[in-house]
Amino acid sequence: MLKILSIVGARPQIIKAAALSRIISLKYKDRIEEVIIHSGQHYDFGMSNVFFDELAIPQPKINLSVGSGSHAEQTAEMLSGIEKCVVAENPDVVVVYGDTNTTLSASLAAAKLKIPLAHIEAGLRSFNKKMPEEINRVISDHCSTFLFAPTITAIQNLHREGFSSENTPPFSVDNPGVFHSGDIMLDNTLYYLNNQISDSKALSEDTYPYCLLTVHRENNTENPERLFNILSAIVKFADTMGRRIKFPVHPRTKSKLDLENPNSRFRFINNHPLIEILEPLSFLETLLVEKYADVIFTDSGGVQKEAYFLSRPTVILRNETEWLEIVNTGTGILVDDDETKILNAGKYFIENPPSSYPSFYGEGKTAEFICNTLLEAFPDKI
Ligand code: UD1
């Protein structure tokens, strides 16, 4: 059997890992053994356990319970914890997802132990190294033996950084393989849309029409001015366009909003009749809310993409995006924290809903592609 060690820790990578675990248990259980390690980067029920339950992901063998901290504290603690797990499990491949501090720590641990690393969602670039995620993804890519890139743009980014386009096995960290795998999140979106979501009962009629807001990026939450600009614009948009706003709040954002405090400058969203402040949603709840939102305002990469998969337009609360296709097709607009741009982009999409969302992200068979590629790379394990 090929033994893989999947390392997760933060909400988006738990969701991505679900697609790989599902296909292993459906099609590869006699050829691939998967062990899951959880770093504990996310620990609230709504940020972690809910996804294991809802997406039927096997329980992690170990949870390192690292929790929150400064970047250095969190990364260092995960690095030493993950190193011990990799040594104890001695897998053929370590698998990491996305661009979080968990991804970075696991990548460094595997590369230093000379265990081949597979990076799912390789090659994405915002070209903004002020984002911790950009540093994490560049380092993870350069520690990897198998780079699974979701898009052609991601492949081109890797080639520009010196990764060879030849892909000649045997692969190693010095001769890495770069694969156009498609986007593993599409596997989940299609699977759950087709199998689990029964739209008719899920949202009550009086919910419509509505838009969705998510904001959690360090750049937006750690700067009160930016958070204030974004929320003021959203309130103006809601009032002008008569749209309810569903706003599931990430714990980081919640602590910055500090809405319980009567002196919080964000209190204006508290009792606003059109702003619906929610706890973080589960994956299926998120898909459902995304599916029927007129417009999605977000700074999340994952939400941008799910919006695209579901043919919903996005107003991107950032200055740049790793998902250039979304902007290039005109189905997403970058607005940063600019009040006028946020308002105008939202209004534009209500009045001109895009009609075409060309396919850039594969066909929802990325997890299968990854399993086949890894099995081929280890012929003695078949
Ligand atoms: C992390 C990722 C980000 C990803 C996001 C998804 C990094 C650098 N960033 O950001 O790329 O988009 O996850 O959610 O890894 N907190 C809780 N409960 C939790 C988790 C976090 O209260 O279960 C609070 C803590 O105050 C913590 C803060 O949120 O300090 C930030 O958490 P952290 O994991 O450092 O980063 P995220 O903002 O979640």
Q: Assign 207 a pLDDT band (cuts: 50, 70, 90).
A: confident
What rounded mean pLDDT belongs to the chain? 96
- What's the CA-to-centroid distance between 133 and ligand 1, angstroms? 11
- With 90 as the cut, is the pLDDT of residue 197 above it? no
Q: What is the pLDDT of residue 200?
A: 46
Contact present, 49 and 8 (Cβ < 8 Å): no
Q: Could you tell me what percent of the chain has a pLDDT over 90? A: 95
The residue whose CB lies within 8 Å of the most ligand 1 atoms, and thus the one to mutate among 42, 63, 185, 322, is 42
Residues acting as catalytic residues:
216
Q: What is the pLDDT of residue 201?
A: 45
Phi, psi for residue 237 in degrees, rounded to 5: -60, -45
- What's the CA-to-centroid distance between 95 and ligand 1, angstroms? 20
Token reading at 89: 């499990």
* 254-298 residue pLDDT tens: 999 999 999 999 999 998 999 999 999 999 999 999 999 999 999
Q: What is the pLDDT of residue 102?
A: 98
* 159-190 residue pLDDT tens: 999 999 899 999 999 999 999 999 999 999 99
Ligand 1 atom with the smallest distance to the CA of 300 is 12
217 lines ligand 1 (CB under 6 A): no
Q: Assign 381 a pLDDT band (cuts: 50, 70, 90).
A: confident
261 lines ligand 1 (CB under 6 A): no
Helix (H) or strand (E) holding 112: helix 101-112
Q: Assign 195 a pLDDT band (cuts: 50, 70, 90).
A: confident
Q: What is the pLDDT of residue 193?
A: 86
- What's the CA-to-centroid distance between 295 and ligand 1, angstroms? 25
Token reading at 108: 């460094």
Q: Hey, whose CA ends up nearest to atom 20 of ligand 1?
A: 42
42 lines ligand 1 (CB under 6 A): yes
Q: Hey, whose CA ends up nearest to atom 7 of ligand 1?
A: 100
318 lines ligand 1 (CB under 6 A): no
* Mean pLDDT across 97-108: 98
* Mean pLDDT across 138-163: 98
41 lines ligand 1 (CB under 6 A): yes
- Nearest CA to 40 out of 95, 107, 97, 101 is that of 101
* 234-262 residue pLDDT tens: 999 999 999 999 999 999 999 999 999 99
Q: What is the pLDDT of residue 205?
A: 62
**CB neighbour class for 45 (10 Å; exposed up to 12, middle 13-18, buried from 19):** exposed
Percent helix, strand and coil across the chain, each to the nearest 5: 45, 15, 35
* Mean pLDDT across 67-93: 98
Contact present, 125 and 118 (Cβ < 8 Å): no
Instruction: Scan for tokens 């590629």, then name that residue.
Output: 373
Q: Are strands 332-334 and 314-316 parallel, antiparallel or unpaired?
A: parallel
- What's the CA-to-centroid distance between 180 and ligand 1, angstroms? 29
- For residues 382 and 240, the model is more confident at 240
Token reading at 285: 């709840």
- What's the CA-to-centroid distance between 294 and ligand 1, angstroms? 27
Backbone conformation region of residue 98, classed left if phi is above 0, alpha if psi is from -120 to 50, else beta: left
Q: Assign 335 a pLDDT band (cuts: 50, 70, 90).
A: very high
**CB neighbour class for 139 (10 Å; exposed up to 12, middle 13-18, buried from 19):** middle
196 lines ligand 1 (CB under 6 A): no
- With 90 as the cut, is the pLDDT of residue 73 above it? yes
255 lines ligand 1 (CB under 6 A): yes
Q: What is the pLDDT of residue 208?
A: 78
- The CB density around residue 261, as the number of other CB atoms within 10 Å, is 10
Give CA angle at 24 (23, 29), nearest 5°: 140
Sequence-distant (≥ 6) Cβ neighbours of residue 49 within 8 angstroms: none
- What's the CA-to-centroid distance between 69 and ligand 1, angstroms? 10
- Nearest CA to 123 out of 93, 150, 96 is that of 150
Sequence-distant (≥ 6) Cβ neighbours of residue 22 within 8 angstroms: 55, 56, 187, 191, 367
- Nearest CA to 46 out of 332, 250, 245 is that of 250
47 lines ligand 1 (CB under 6 A): yes
* 25-57 residue pLDDT tens: 999 999 999 999 999 999 999 999 999 999 999
